[in-house]
Structure 1
Amino acid sequence: MSSSKRITVKEINDQLKQVHSLDDERLKNWVQDDRKGVQLAISKTIKRLQTAEKQQQAFRQRFTYEQSFWHKGINYVAGIDEVGRGPLAGPVVSAAVILPSDFDLIAVNDSKQLSKVTRELLAPQIKQEALAYGFGVIDNQIIDEVNIYEATKLAMRAAVNDLNITPQQLIIDAMSIDMAIPELSLIKADAKSISVSAASILAKVYRDQMMSEYDQQYPEYEFAHNDGYGTKAHLKALAEFGVTPIHRRSFKPVMDALNIK
């Protein structure tokens, strides 16, 4: 106790920021300090460490499927995910990612759980750490020809074929893509598999960038904000300005707009 009294609350606060384990001796010593400021700092530190541990556990849990394959000597496991099934305009985009066993980007999770800023920060880091990554892009014309489900499968196959390493195993988000590679289809795989999580981020960032470029060509539709989804502003623009070359003519709101025009 006496040693803790010799330093100020601010000094303890500063040192607690460097504590990364609940077993840290400084934490154990200062928990007995009866100063209100110290107790508040201890409480915040414990909460921070507990939150970090939960995040670390969840991160490790997302390696479960990959590790089961790695333990069998299957080293190249590709996670595959897509983005863009629901929009009225633009392509469907898929990404495939093969990660190393020491992948350590703890923030990587289902892209839908992350902010745009976080996804854009993570995407280049994923590319840096990945053993391989690839993309598949299927445009609106093919979507109209084959339907969105088949177009999604085409995008996923294209992403696998774009990898510079041939995967030995695929983990896919709720799809079967019928390639000559063993595949594991998981519902909500983007939240269960770290490889699929990484793929979901890359696919989302890639497609968002494409839609931002389309926004420059067709600013009336606000593609940079709605990514081609049928928002109120997008539907209003369809009724007012008609259908662009990137709209999916087989989707009902676009068909309705064509009838209006």
Structure 2
Amino acid sequence: MKPYVIGVDEVGRGPAIGPLVVASLAVPENDVQKLIKIGVRDSKKISKAKREMIEEDIYAALKECDWKFCVLPISPKSIDISRSFKSLNEIEEEAFIEAIKNVSLKHTIATVKLDPIGNRPELFARRMYSRLHLERPHLDFESTKGMDDTCLVTGAASIMAKVYRDRIIADLSNELGFNVGSGYPSDPTTIEALKELTKGELPHDSLRWTWATTSNAWKKNHTVPIPTRTTNGIVLQQGLNPSLWSGG
């Protein structure tokens, strides 16, 4: 059975707007060099137009070659609800595990190359192995900081994740009729958008309500704390319209 390289990366961990996106790509070892011809590099080092061209070429390869791809968006609502009982690292780690399982089978032989979650890459790789070795006994795990820059397959997964998230943010801007920027707190356009998106009796669905950036924008428009998303719905604070209660 031919061995694979599986690359996994995430995009959108820090933004106040939009999903966190995890992507995985499985490529046979003998095909990895094809990614050079496609033009794969670290997603942060190439233009938006080039990333979209690479995405198109990878989708073409998925049809022609024995490659496998998975993208998992984690919505702002899911992040907010999960953060009441999990850390962001735990949320992301579970998505990495799901993404790996979605591009492999129990008999798959592969080296999984991961951009690390947290600041201890070797420990992260061991933890991923311990969580998956019963279901995926033939996978080895490697994790180093900047893996998306040193491993072509991880770099390709990063590009796919970024194009996917960028498209969601662009669609959101078109839907709203104004530019929301990148979604990151360091983006002045995003900060301006947050002022508009927190004016209603509830923050906009596209926002991560548990983010300090969102809460700070809310405080400038309201005199009560920002509502809370829970598994049972939205917990409204005193002074908000109770008819806005949502069951999910």
In structure 2, the CA distance between the partners of 1:240 and 1:125, relative to structure 1 (3 Å rule), is: closer
Structure 2 counterpart of 1:255, from 212, 215, 238:
215
2:94 is aligned to: 154
C-alpha distance in 1, partners of 2:57/2:109? 21
1:55 is aligned to: none
In structure 2, the CA distance between the partners of 1:213 and 1:155, relative to structure 1 (3 Å rule), is: farther
C-alpha distance in 2, partners of 1:84/1:136? 12
1:217 is aligned to: 175
Query: Which of 124-133 and 161-170 deviates more?
Result: 161-170
**Which has the larger strand fraction?**
2
**Which has the larger helix fraction?**
1
Say whether residues 1:104 and 2:34 are aligned partners. yes
Say whether residues 1:202 and 2:160 are aligned partners. yes
Query: Which of 124-133 and 174-183 deviates more?
Result: 174-183
Q: CA deviation at 1:240?
A: 3.9
Structure 2 counterpart of 1:171, from 106, 113, 117:
113
| Aligned positions of 1:80-119 closer than 5 A | 80-100=8-28, 101-102=30-31, 103-106=33-36, 107-119=39-51
Which amino acid is 1:75 matched to? P
- 1:124 aligns to what SS in structure 2? helix
| Aligned positions of 1:1-261 closer than 5 A | 75-100=3-28, 101-102=30-31, 103-106=33-36, 107-130=39-62, 131-144=67-80, 145-146=82-83, 147-163=87-103, 166=108, 168-175=110-117, 176=124, 177=128, 178-180=131-133, 181-220=139-178, 222-223=179-180, 226-230=181-185, 231-242=187-198, 243-260=203-220, 261=222
Which amino acid is 1:179 matched to? L
Which amino acid is 1:255 matched to? S
C-alpha distance in 1, partners of 2:206/2:68? 30
Q: Which has the higher contact order (CA 8 A, sep 6+)?
A: 2
User: Residue by residue, what CA displacement relative to the aligned partner does 1:80-133 show, whole Å, maximum 9, x if unpaired?
Assistant: 011001111111101111123234232211100110000000112123335111
Which amino acid is 1:238 matched to? L
Query: Identity over aligned residues, as a percent?
Result: 29
Q: Is the 8 A contact 1:78 1:167 kept in 2?
A: no
Q: CA deviation at 1:241?
A: 4.2
Which amino acid is 2:110 matched to? Q
C-alpha distance in 1, partners of 2:177/2:89? 28
In structure 2, the CA distance between the partners of 1:201 and 1:241, relative to structure 1 (3 Å rule), is: closer
Which amino acid is 1:228 matched to? G
In structure 2, the CA distance between the partners of 1:228 and 1:219, relative to structure 1 (3 Å rule), is: farther
User: Residue by residue, what CA displacement relative to the aligned partner does 1:204-244 show, whole Å, maximum 9, x if unpaired?
Assistant: 11111111222233233x23xx2312221221232244131
- 2:35 aligns to what SS in structure 1? coil
C-alpha distance in 2, partners of 1:167/1:138? 28
User: Residue by residue, what CA displacement relative to the aligned partner does 1:148-171 show, whole Å, maximum 9, x if unpaired?
Assistant: 322222332232233265563311
In structure 2, the CA distance between the partners of 1:81 and 1:167, relative to structure 1 (3 Å rule), is: farther
User: Residue by residue, what CA displacement relative to the aligned partner does 1:10-64 show, whole Å, maximum 9, x if unpaired?
Assistant: xxxxxxxxxxxxxxxxxxxxxxxxxxxxxxxxxxxxxxxxxxxxxxxxxxxxxxx
Give the TM-score normalised by structure 2. 0.68
Q: Is the 8 A contact 2:35 2:153 kept in 1?
A: no
- Structure 2 gap segments, 5+ residues each: 118-123, 134-138, 223-248
Q: How many residues align?
A: 186
RMSD: 2.1
Q: CA deviation at 1:75?
A: 0.5
Runs of 4+ in 1 over 6 A off after TM superposition: none
